[in-house]
């Protein structure tokens, strides 16, 4: 069985649905989600969306904060595009039904703007402390009401379908994806005139992450296998404050808590961050996470503390209702006791390299949201800029894709069949679980917040061995969701390790103790790699933009 669409969107988070709602005006849109339509990192976003909407703020201030956080690797033009599009994107979200918090709960009043690490002004629009959920509920409803959008749940993308176009042009063309139905195990070809990766990040590559279980780097891995250019995979952001509790799986404590006056402390109650940055607890995430990691390892502590006890209890309940209630269920009253926290893998600043329209280096293939590397975040993402980027590039990519399908053949070619070969049902699932655990632990220990040449070399040797085991398993046994995701996290791990090994300096989210200083002379540029025809990795020097 196969399906056809004008626009195929793989992933149903904020970027994917923004693209779908824009593109639906010009054709049929098929949106695939690997789980339920609400299950995404976008839905978990607590802080909000950064945009210039107040009189004491300006595009210049927001741009300056973003560029400073990005440590010299932001694309200045992309930064300007995203930030200057912010107010219109916010207005569009409101038209789609999103309700942002207002001062004194006045529906016509000023926005209740938050401030987070690295921001010089209050500019973070939020809906309490569950902004992502509020936005996603509104967009899912809007997409469900749109007749040109078809949402399909429980479809796990396996491989992109890439071949030479029938027109005889020499370049390769993406024309869809093979997808595994999680309910019955069938694999079908889904063809499209444009394919959009909106699959989110890859936090599950690490043992400790704030990401949902679906964040296994599927889009990054598939694009890499299709030989798309990948950029800056070494820059993995670790959120400083994930709740440390045996029953709190991946529960994030929003950066807005520090923006409202929360202070980070060591287990003995002493503050420590001013020794690392004059902004203290409001320094950018790379600095704060690294400082916590260093202090915990030096002292042998299991966690640091986020102290909110100096703030009014009623204010805490109003401003952070979800976090407050969730902590109470775990026996923690943030108004009375500091909360134990540890850093956790949170966001990939690298990904599929794109131009300013979201186009990848493979014609017909777009990438938007966390799966993409647009140049907006550079070496470190400024808090709450991710939702802004998702909306901006969701719209830009959709507009470009509309133009693209008008220039490409309208009749889809015959769908290829998935060849199972001699594969059989697996009776050794322990191989999958063992490699899954080993990859995540080696990435945490060797390619985490702090790296070294020796750690990276060890990680490289081990991931090569694991990749061989997975490759053999992949060809011998029928696919399962666990095997598909294992293959993908292994691929992403390899990309991160390879990219980190190439950057012999410390910049933004990449810190190597053997190269502790920034080296602008040799490394003030993106790390761009792609797979060779034989499956290895090579460095790419090709300039953007791409011409399709």
The whole-number average pLDDT for the span 470-476 is 87
Indicate the pairing of strand 372-373 with strand 339-348: unpaired
> In degrees to the nearest 10, what's the CA dihedral of 356, 236, 154, 424?
120
What would the DSSP string read from start to end of 133-171?
Answer: HHHHHHHHHHHHT-TTEEEE-SEEEEEEEEE--TT--SS
283-327 per-position pLDDT tens digit: 988 899 999 999 998 899 999 999 999 999 999 999 999 999 999
Closest among 459, 442, 451, 448 to 236, alpha carbons compared: 448
97-134 per-position pLDDT tens digit: 999 999 988 878 899 999 988 999 999 999 987 888 99
CA distances from 102 to 54, 120, 128, 157, 457 (A): 12, 20, 10, 40, 51
Give me the chain's average pLDDT, please: 92
Closest among 62, 66, 11, 361 to 197, alpha carbons compared: 11
491: exposed, middle or buried (Cβ count in 10 Å: 0-12, 13-18, 19+): buried
Tokens 């709602």 belong to 21
Closest among 515, 510, 47 to 290, alpha carbons compared: 510
Tokens 């309208």 belong to 410
The total number of residues written for the chain in this structure:
548
What domains sit in the chain, N to C, each tagged with a CATH number?
A: 2-199+212-234+347-406 (3.50.50.60), 240-345 (3.90.700.10), 429-539 (1.20.58.100)
| The two three-digit tokens of residue 277, written as one number | 């940055």
Angle at 85 between CA 82 and CA 91, to 5 degrees: 135
373: exposed, middle or buried (Cβ count in 10 Å: 0-12, 13-18, 19+): buried
Closest among 238, 236, 264, 245 to 323, alpha carbons compared: 245
Tokens 């996290």 belong to 489
pLDDT score recorded for residue 477: 82
Tokens 């923690």 belong to 332
pLDDT score recorded for residue 412: 58
Q: How far apart are CA 333 and CA 46, in angstroms?
A: 19
pLDDT score recorded for residue 404: 95
Residue 304: its H or E element? strand 304-307
**pLDDT at residue 169 tops 60:** no
Q: In this prediction, what percent of the chain has a pLDDT beyond 70?
A: 97
Closest among 216, 207, 304 to 249, alpha carbons compared: 207
Catalytic residues: 285
pLDDT score recorded for residue 410: 72
446-467 per-position pLDDT tens digit: 999 999 999 999 999 999 999 9
Count of alpha carbons within 13 Å of 437, Cβ hemisphere only? 5
193-234 per-position pLDDT tens digit: 999 999 999 999 999 999 988 999 999 999 999 999 999 999
Please name every residue paired with 76 in a beta bridge, in sequence order, or none if there are none: none
H helices within 330-409, ranges in order?
Answer: 385-406
The region, left, alpha or beta by phi > 0 then psi within -120 to 50, assigned to residue 355 is: beta
The region, left, alpha or beta by phi > 0 then psi within -120 to 50, assigned to residue 143 is: alpha
Range of weakest confidence among 23-27, 46-50, 166-170: 166-170
**pLDDT at residue 1 tops 60:** no
Task: Please list, in sequence order, all residues whose beta carbon lies within 8 angstroms of the beta carbon of residue 163, skipping any fewer than 6 positions away.
Answer: 172, 173, 175
Predicted TM-score (pTM) of this structure:
0.93
pLDDT score recorded for residue 411: 65
366-386 per-position pLDDT tens digit: 999 999 999 999 999 999 999
Report CA 153 to chain centroid distance, whole Å: 20
521: exposed, middle or buried (Cβ count in 10 Å: 0-12, 13-18, 19+): exposed
């Amino acid at each position: 069985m196969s399906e056809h669409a004008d626009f195929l969107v793989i992933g149903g988070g904020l970027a994917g649905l923004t693209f779908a709602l824009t593109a639906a005006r010009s054709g049929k849109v098929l949106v695939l989600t690997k789980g339920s339509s609400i299950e995404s990192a976008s839905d978990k976003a607590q802080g909000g969306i950064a945009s210039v909407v107040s009189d004491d703020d300006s595009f210049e201030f927001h741009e300056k904060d973003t560029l400073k956080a990005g440590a010299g690797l932001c694309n200045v033009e992309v930064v300007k595009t995203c930030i200057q599009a912010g107010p219109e994107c916010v207005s569009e979200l409101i038209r789609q039904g999103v309700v942002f918090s207002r001062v004194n709960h006045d529906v016509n009043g000023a926005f209740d703007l938050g401030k987070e690490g690295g921001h010089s002004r209050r500019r973070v629009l939020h809906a309490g402390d569950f902004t992502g959920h509020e936005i996603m509920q509104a967009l899912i409803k809007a997409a469900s009401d749109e007749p040109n959008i078809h949402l399909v749940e429980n479809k796990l993308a396996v491989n992109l379908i890439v071949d030479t176009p029938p027109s005889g042009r020499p370049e390769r063309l993406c024309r869809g994806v093979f997808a595994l139905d999680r309910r019955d195990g069938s694999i079908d070809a889904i063809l499209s005139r444009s394919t959009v990766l909106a699959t989110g990040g890859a936090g599950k590559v690490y043992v400790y992450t704030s990401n949902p279980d679906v964040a296994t780097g599927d889009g990054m891995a598939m694009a890499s296998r299709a030989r798309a250019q990948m950029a800056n995979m070494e820059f993995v952001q670790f959120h400083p404050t994930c709740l440390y509790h045996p029953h709190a799986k991946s529960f994030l404590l929003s950066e807005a808590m520090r923006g409202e006056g929360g202070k980070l402390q060591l287990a003995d109650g002493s503050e420590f961050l001013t020794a690392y940055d004059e902004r203290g607890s409001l320094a950018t995430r790379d600095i704060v996470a690294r400082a916590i990691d260093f202090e915990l390892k030096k002292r042998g502590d299991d966690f640091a503390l986020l102290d909110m006890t100096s703030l009014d209890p009623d204010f805490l309940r109003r401003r952070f209702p979800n976090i407050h209630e969730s902590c109470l269920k775990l026996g923690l009253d943030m108004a009375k006791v500091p909360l134990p926290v540890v850093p956790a893998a949170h966001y990939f600043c690298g990904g599929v390299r794109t131009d300013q329209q979201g186009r990848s280096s493979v014609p017909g293939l777009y990438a938007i949201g966390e799966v993409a590397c647009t140049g907006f975040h550079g070496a470190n993402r400024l808090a709450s800029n991710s939702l802004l980027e998702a909306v901006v590039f969701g719209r830009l990519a959709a507009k470009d894709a509309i133009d693209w399908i008008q220039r490409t053949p309208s009749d889809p070619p015959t769908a290829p069949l998935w060849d199972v070969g001699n594969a059989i049902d697996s009776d050794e699932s322990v191989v999958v679980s063992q490699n899954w655990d080993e990859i995540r632990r080696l990435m945490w220990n060797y390619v985490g917040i702090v790296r070294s040449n020796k750690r990276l070399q060890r990680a490289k040797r081990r991931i090569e061995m694991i990749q061989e085991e997975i490759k053999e398993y992949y060809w011998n046994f029928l696919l399962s969701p666990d095997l598909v995701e294992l293959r993908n996290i292994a691929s992403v791990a390899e990309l991160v390790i390879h990219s980190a090994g190439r950057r012999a300096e410390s910049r933004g989210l990449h810190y190597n103790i053997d190269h502790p200083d920034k080296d602008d002379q040799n490394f003030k540029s993106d790390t761009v790699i792609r797979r060779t025809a034989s499956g290895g990795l090579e460095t790419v020097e090709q300039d953007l933009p791409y011409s399709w």
